[in-house]
């Protein structure tokens, strides 16, 4: 049982580049979400999904897209990277009202 | 939407107690508590659900006042391993779940 996995662990982009952060879980959780955490700050919800084919926006969705074609995978796409998107990105999953399981995070720097 | 946590930071000596508070302006279905060590992902501590159900680690205790939309985390007889940043997360419906800005706890010998 790998839990929640994220790739890559580190990434450096130039302004304007696009990329996809990968997230996968093997616990058959229906709920998955993406958060960003800026230095010394809390976790802010970017997008979330309540099941395959169903996604919605969180607090800070601008500049990011998501899709959920399977229960297991929930990729986050940065359309045109900006320095303001430099952050640590966490993917999380849960079942019902139970605890959220977090991935190890992706540390993204945009130059 | 984000819950408000207090205090922002706490310094304790080993063995001392601390209380961390979390409040929301919206009616809540659930409150979660997590601890995050530097450079790591948040780790689950406890869930409190509307109606009184609680799930979590044995050594952690917390309360949830549904009417006031407030929760408190009680850390007793603190140990060095308790150091880290504590986050509360709240859900006013099943889908959207928001975290507070965190309380940094430093336990010294």
Percentage of chain A modeled with pLDDT above 90: 88
Of residues A64 and A99, which shows the higher confidence score? A64
B89 at A interface, C-beta within 8 A: yes
Residue A59 to residue B87, Cβ atoms within 8 A: no
Instruction: Give A40-54 pLDDT, tens digit per residue.
Output: 788 999 999 999 999
- pLDDT-above-90 percentage for chain B: 66
Q: Pick from A100, A75, A79, A81: which is nearest to A3 by CA?
A: A100
> Which chain B positions have a beta carbon within 8 Å of A101's beta carbon?
44
Using the CB atoms, write b or e for B65-74: b if 16+ within 10 Å. ebeebbbbbe
Confidence at residue A89, expressed as pLDDT on a 0 to 100 scale: 98
- pLDDT score for B49: 86
A98 close to A43: Cβ distance less than 8 angstroms: no
B52 touching A (Cβ < 8 Å)? no
Inform me whether the pLDDT recorded for A4 exceeds 90. yes
pLDDT digits over A64-86, tens only? 999 999 999 999 999 999 999 99
Q: What is the pLDDT of residue B94?
A: 66
Report how far residue B70's alpha carbon sits from residue B90's, in angstroms, rounded to the nearest whole number: 10
Does the distance separating the beta carbons of B1 and A50 come in below 8 Å? Answer: no
Q: Is the pLDDT of residue B107 over 70?
A: yes
How many angstroms away from the CA of B108 is the closest CA of chain A? 20
């Amino acid at each position: 049982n790998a839990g929640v996995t994220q790739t890559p662990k580190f990434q450096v982009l130039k302004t304007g580049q696009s990329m996809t952060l990968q997230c996968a879980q093997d616990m058959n959780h229906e709920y998955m979400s993406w958060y960003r955490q800026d230095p010394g700050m809390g976790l802010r919800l970017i997008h979330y999904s309540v099941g395959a084919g169903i996604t919605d926006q969180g607090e800070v969705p601008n500049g990011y897209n998501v899709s959920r074609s399977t229960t297991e995978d929930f990729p986050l796409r940065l359309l045109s990277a900006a320095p303001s998107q430099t952050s640590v990105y966490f993917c999380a999953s849960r079942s019902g009202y139970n605890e959220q399981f977090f991935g190890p995070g992706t540390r993204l720097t945009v130059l | 939407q984000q819950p408000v946590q207090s205090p922002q930071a706490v310094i304790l000596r080993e063995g001392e107690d601390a209380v961390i508070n979390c409040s929301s302006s919206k009616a809540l279905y659930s409150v979660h508590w997590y601890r995050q060590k530097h450079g790591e992902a948040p780790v689950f501590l406890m869930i409190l659900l509307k109606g009184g159900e609680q799930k979590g680690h044995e050594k952690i205790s917390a309360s949830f006042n549904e009417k006031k939309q407030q929760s408190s985390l009680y850390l007793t007889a603190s140990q060095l391993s308790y150091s880290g940043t504590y986050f509360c997360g709240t859900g006013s419906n099943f889908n959207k779940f928001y975290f507070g800005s965190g309380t940094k706890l430093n336990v010294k010998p």
